[in-house]
Amino acid sequence: MASLTTLCYIEKDGKYLMLHRTVKKNDVNKDKWIGVGGHFEADESPEECLLREVKEETGYTLTSWSFRGLVTFVSGGGVTEYMALYTADGFTGAPTRCAEGELEWVDKKELLSLNLWEGDKIFLRLLDERTSFFSLKLVYDGGNTLVRADLDGKQLPL
């Protein structure tokens, strides 16, 4: 089974807007810190999903964003997620409460100290180090352990 999602890291003053997932029960991201985004709805393009999800989760309307990479998550048990990864540096509107957790601006230098997925640490570093588009495949053992990562078709050391 495959799913399509978007994820966005909104940037302001050297910080990313991070979502601490604390609310939903049976949440695969429970207690993790992630960007904002979610699953495509019927007939949506990646950009339509991005804009809708950011508005729903933050109250912001994006005015400037970049498609940075495609991340393939293989979670085990036949579950694969294809995620369009974005960064954004322009937005309007006022922040709202998020139904999925707490939103917080976090200094980019402090991101790796948060409770993140191991694969998220890889693509957050790539967002910081690279300006070119990338494809990242992350393979998990069916749980929380990352067992393989391939960047642009080449295996990375873990």
Specify the pLDDT at position 9.
98
pLDDT in tens, the chain (158 residues): 789 999 999 999 999 999 999 877 777 888 999 999 999 999 999 999 999 999 999 999 999 999 999 999 999 888 899 999 999 999 999 999 999 999 999 999 999 999 999 999 999 999 999 999 999 999 999 888 999 999 999 999 98
Nearest to 50 by CA among 59, 62, 42: 62
* Predicted local distance difference test score (pLDDT) of residue 29: 81
Look at residue 53 in the predicted model and tell me its pLDDT: 97
- Alpha-carbon distance of 42 to 56, in angstroms, equals 17
Contact 122, 156 (CB under 8 A): yes
